[in-house]
Every structure is written in structure tokens, then in C-alpha cells.
Structure 1
């Protein structure tokens, strides 16, 4: 599949979630004065990605993405979200689309760089590459998205 095909599918699906993303925007304003935590950083990273998707016109130059790997990724992310956010349908669609974009189009990490996500995970950028301190440890977990992440083990 072409990256542009995936991109426009992601953007359409996020547009269909406009009521949900409006709630996210409202919640961000409400918690703006709160001390930041790992989940707030992740939420802000995902929201910034949403804004990037909205503002992007397309993919240039266009490139090929292996649709079988995209399908595997979606299946693993479904399993992950069914474990950690069961029944949260809109959240699942939102995270799926943001994650597809980050992984296959923007080629960015799934967690925000330079922010300690937990005691085990810190992503840093050195030169043009991202490195994750948790990748070696978590790559074998089921469900795990580490094998799809652009980060290299640190």
C-alpha cells in the first residue's frame, strides 16, 4: 500500500472522531495547570501528532508500506488496548490512528522522546536515530508494540 493511502485513511477516521477529539482538547485545557505526569506527556504527544496529521496535506515523496505489517500492527495494538482499555472504543480508534501515523508515516517513537515514561522507559534522540531504554526488556512481551517502533535498543 502507498503511504498516502494509509495517511488519508488515518485522517478520515480521525475526522470521524471529531466529537472525541474535541473532548480531548477540552481536557487538555482543564489540566493545563496540573503538574505533568507520564500519561499527560503521552496525551500531549498524541494530541500534537493529531494536529500534525490535520495540518499535513499529504505524503511527498510517497512510499510503499507493507500492508501485512500494518495489519499485524493493528492486531497487536487491538490486543494491547483490549488489555489496558477494554471497551474504550473511541480511545482505541484514536490511539490506533495516531500510532499508525507515528510508526509507518512519521517514523517517530510511540512514546514521547526525552520524557521518562516510566522507570523502565526513556527515549532519546541521538543524531537521526531514536533509542529506547526499555526496548530490549519489553520487545518479547505479549502484547508488545516494541518490534514495530522505530526506536533502537539503548
Structure 2
């Protein structure tokens, strides 16, 4: 699947009424300000078109749903926003799924690409983190050494 097609499908998962409610900050949507901003930016963000593995997208969706069913069982209405935002960030924008303040990930810009390093990265295979673009920061002291 092309990434533009994925972005279109993610945007289509949000109704016109929901888009309007997101835009106007409707608090009944049960969405964090971070995810609201991510979703609103999705409408106008330029997309570099490339092929993505749709099976990985579905696997992330299922992993997020399992996680949310455990840790946000009391608020299933909010799951939709987290899942759409995480899939968008991971596969379309290639950015971390969490705001920087939540996990304190660091961004390393090189001439070739941007690399994200996260101190909270759980490298277990059953972890949602395994889908995140962040790398583990086990060597972050070396990456950020000024010498």
C-alpha cells in the first residue's frame, strides 16, 4: 500500500462531524491535546509517497487495541483517536508515537536522516514500542557526547 492511501484511509475513519468537533476542541471526544494536534495536522501535512507494509499497520492496530483494552478499559471511546494518531505518526510521518515530554525522546539530525532515541523504549516483541520509530537509548550517553 502507498503511504498516501493509508493517510486517506485514516482521514476517512474520521467523520465530517468529528473533524469539526476536533477543530473546535470539543472535549466530549476524549482526546489528548497531542493527539488532537496530530490529527488536525494530518489534513494539511505533505506526504512523501512510498510503499508501506499493510500487515505491519494492522499488527500495530491490534497491538494498540490490546494495550488500550488493558490500560484504558474504562474509556473505549478514546481508543479511536490514539490508534489513528499512532498509525499516522509511525507509518506516514515516521515520528514517535508519544509527545516528547511523555517519554523524553531525543532527536538526532544527521545529513542523511532524523533519528529518534527514547529512554523508555521497551524492546520486547509484545510491546507497542516495537513499532515505534524510536531507537533504544542504551548508548545515548555516547550519541550526545560533546567530545
**TM-score by shorter chain over 0.5:** yes
**Aligned-pair distance for 1:43?**
2.2
Bigger mean CA deviation after superposition, 82-91 or 100-109: 82-91
Computing the radius of gyration from Cα coordinates, the structure with the larger value is: 2
**Aligned-pair distance for 1:79?**
0.2
Paired residues, what number? 131
Residue 55 of structure 1 aligns to a residue in which SS?
coil
Structure 2 unaligned residues grouped into runs of 5+: 138-147
Q: Provide the rounded CA distance (Å) in 1 between the counterparts of 2:130 and 2:60.
A: 9
Cα deviation, 1:108-129, whole Å, max 9, x if unaligned, reads 101112x1x2xxx321112121
Contact 1:139–1:145, Cα closer than 8 Å, also in 2: no
Alignment of 1:13-28 (within 5 A): 13-15=13-15, 18=18, 21-22=21-22, 25-27=25-27
Q: Provide the rounded CA distance (Å) in 1 between the counterparts of 2:131 and 2:7.
A: 17
Q: Does 1:47 align with 2:25?
A: no
**Aligned-pair distance for 1:20?**
9.2
Q: State the TM-score, normalized to the length of structure 2.
A: 0.76
Q: Provide the rounded CA distance (Å) in 2 between the counterparts of 1:25 and 1:91.
A: 14
Structure 1 unaligned residues grouped into runs of 5+: 28-41
Cα deviation, 1:21-46, whole Å, max 9, x if unaligned, reads 4498144xxxxxxxxxxxxxx92221
Q: State the TM-score, normalized to the length of structure 1.
A: 0.73
**Aligned-pair distance for 1:86?**
1.9
After the TM superposition, list the runs of 4 or more consecutive aligned residues in structure 1 that deviate by more than 6 angstroms. none
Q: Does 1:133 align with 2:140?
A: no
RMSD: 2.7
Bigger mean CA deviation after superposition, 122-131 or 17-26: 17-26
